[in-house]
Structure 1
Amino acid sequence: MHASEPAGFWIRLGAILLDALIIGLPLTIISMIITGNGISSHQFLSDTLTFLYALLIPIIWNGYTVGKRICGIRIAKIADGGPPGLGTMLLRNVVAGVVYGITFGVATIVSAIMVGVREDKRSLHDFIAGTEVIRD
């Protein structure tokens, strides 16, 4: 039994979409302005800034991103319910990203289904990192 209520599929999707609109879109536009609109260079800068945002903001902001904060959900470590550290976020983002990549996105679909149907609402990257996404 969870001390906190797990966040389900739709609220997590909403948080991802908010992050994409509020953070991702402006980062892409800024990257295009800085690099002079060159596709490969602006894409690299945008991807790097987005990666750093997804990696560091939950560490700095106690498990929240802007989208998660708006939706009232956060990333928490299973062990103690505390915010994730650098190692946890590296596992969650980098290792899980490799798994999703080598399965050509199949693992992403599996993760979405897991969040939708599992009682604890944990995805593959939650299992890899020992995290869960909970409601405040």
Structure 2
Amino acid sequence: MVSEPAGFWSRFFAGLLDGILVGLPLYILSNILTGSTDDNWVTELLLFLYSLLLPVFWGGCTVGKRLCGIKIQKVADEGPPGIGTMLLRNLVASFVYGITLGIGWIVSLFMVVFREDKRAIHDFIAGTEVVQFK
């Protein structure tokens, strides 16, 4: 069964919801716990772990993705991503985006908008796709 690719707007709103529903509370909590708002590594670590681990344990979804009806899946077998897949998707892709000074991220944005399969660079690195689910 071929899944319908998730387009730009559903991915955008999923990220926005993750930021509001998870990122903002984590930011506030970590600022309370550390007593600082300056370069809070605790927030960054918690958000990294959230985006890395939740899709592994929740069928390819984050809170935002679940609310938008989309999920990450492996292209090869349409199964949920494992920890290795998510490490490739998040860590290696972030490195690629960093060394290209953000140009890779902009290219990915255009790929999601214009490619028929809606896959970005990080999807190709990890062998994943973001699809709609019922």
TM-score greater than 0.5 by the shorter chain: yes
The whole-number CA distance in structure 2 between the counterparts of 1:15 and 1:117 is 19
Q: Could you list the runs of 4 or more consecutive aligned residues of structure 1 that deviate by over 2 angstroms after TM superposition? A: none
In the alignment of these two chains, the number of paired residues is 133
| Distance (whole Å) between structure 2 residues aligned to residue 29 and residue 38 of structure 1 | 9
Structure 1 residues 31 and 117, CA gap change in structure 2 (3 angstroms)? same
Q: Deviations over 1:13-51 (max 9, x none)?
A: 0000000000000000001000012513xx100000000
Deviation sequence 1:88-119 (CA, Å, 0-9, x none): 00000000000000011111000000000000
**Could you tell me which residue of structure 2 aligns to residue 60 of structure 1?**
57
Quote the sequence identity (%).
60
User: Deviation digits for residues 110-130 of structure 1, max 9, x if unmatched?
Assistant: 000000000000000000000
Secondary structure (helix, strand or coil) at the match of 1:14 reads helix
Q: Answer yes or no: is 1:50 the counterpart of 2:47.
A: yes
Q: What is residue 31 of structure 1 aligned with on the other side?
A: 30
Using the alignment, how far apart are the partners of 2:74 and 2:86 within structure 1?
A: 10
Residue 8 of structure 2 aligns with which residue?
A: 9
Amino acid at match of 2:62: T
**Deviation per residue, 1:63-83 (Å, 9 max, x gap):** 000000000000000000000
Aligned equivalents of 1:96, 1:122: Cα separation in 2? 13
Alignment of 1:1-136 (within 5 A): 3-40=2-39, 43-136=40-133
Unaligned runs of 5+ in 2: none
Q: Which consecutive unaligned segments of at least 5 residues does structure 1 have?
A: none
Q: Which amino acid aligns with 1:8?
A: G
User: Once superposed, what is the RMSD of the aligned Cα atoms?
Assistant: 0.9
* TM-score (normalizing by structure 1): 0.96
- SS of 1:3 mapped into structure 2: coil
What SS does the aligned partner of 1:39 have? coil
* Structure 2: distance between partners of 1:17 and 1:114: 19
